[in-house]
Amino acid sequence: MSIAVVTGGAGFIGSHMVDLLLAEGHRVHVIDNLSGGRLQNLEQHKSDPNLAVEVRDIRELDASDPLFKDAQYVFHFAGIGDLVPSIEQPVDYVSTNTMGTVRVLEAARRARVRKFVYAASSTCYGFAEVPTREDAPISPQYPYALSKYMGEEAALHWGRVYKLPVVSIRIFNAYGTRSRTSGAYGAVFGVFLAQKLAGKPFTVVGDGTQRRDFLYVTDLARAFLLAAQSGGASAIYNAAAGAPQSVNRLVELLGGGEIVHLPKRPGEPDCTWADISKISSELGWTPQVSFEEGVARMLKNIDYWRQAPVWDESSIAQATSEWFKYLQS
């Protein structure tokens, strides 16, 4: 039975990775500081002897950490994921997303793992041409994007210098059950689902015609597993559906309702759209869950967001004031 380490394994994507790994017969070691993750996300596996969970911060990892002993794979999801707060907390983001990654890389190197798979971010592309290929110019627009890209560069550096087999997967717009419910102003799904539960208007940034290349989380976990099982040394892949959807379409699938339009945010592209031909041809991966089916799954589990903060025009304006201050051209 192979051992897989999942950092951030109690979080949104990480917990779905744990589900898949256990289903595939792996023993799974999870590390999570629970700043964004929830043990509830792993509740269904609480009696599984093949799952071990440690509540710790990746920045405290020692290179010889026993959690990594005999591990074949490391899936690195741990980090701070909300975009907007990074403009006010750049040091925290670099400390966790970049230096935390270095700590995990060193533990993986010492353990001589077979493959290190890094959860990178498509925000590294900035305002890219679409569909966006992996060789597109890099242009981070805000500290979150920079911190994740520096983490990716560290991972690839460890691959070149220390011969640690690394795959970096640039995630576009992941969504699905268990997405974040933290107090930080975050991804559109969590914001909208909490508003729907509270009977409040949907706060749509701009006119809602902006499109995002949404990818359902179980499809994403499968991409990570295929990447871990792939041959070769280092590689970079885009992971997305390759079929961008508008925010207005999302509102429609959520049942519609009253809408409040907010000012368009600087630093964010009108469209994210990945060219996924590389991951499809090299790993044999294609997304399986349609946008309509994915949204339906989230609505079926909408109670998960009942305790999430309900954002409105005023609170969003306050949360994004520094964003506009620094990124407005």
Task: Give residue 184's pLDDT.
Answer: 84
Q: Is 304 annotated in the active site?
A: no
What fold is seen in the domain 179-212+243-269+289-327? UDP-galactose 4-epimerase; domain 1 (3.90.25)
Task: Give residue 232's pLDDT.
Answer: 77
d(CA 287, CA 245): 15
Task: Give residue 63's pLDDT.
Answer: 97
Which residues sit opposite 2 in a β-bridge? none
Domain ranges of the chain: 3-174+214-239, 179-212+243-269+289-327
Task: Give residue 329's pLDDT.
Answer: 72
pTM reported for the whole predicted model: 0.97
Q: What is the dihedral of CA 94, 98, 101, 105, to 10 degrees?
A: -150
Q: Which residues of the chain fall short of a pLDDT of 70?
A: none
Task: Give residue 219's pLDDT.
Answer: 98
Task: Give residue 83's pLDDT.
Answer: 94
Q: What CATH class has 3-174+214-239?
A: alpha beta
Question: Would strands 211-212 and 245-246 be described as parallel, antiparallel, or unpaired?
Answer: antiparallel
Among the options 73, 142, 144, 175, which is catalytic? 144
User: What is the three-state SS of 241-278?
Assistant: CCCCEEHHHHHHHCCCCCEEEECCCCCCCCECCECCHH
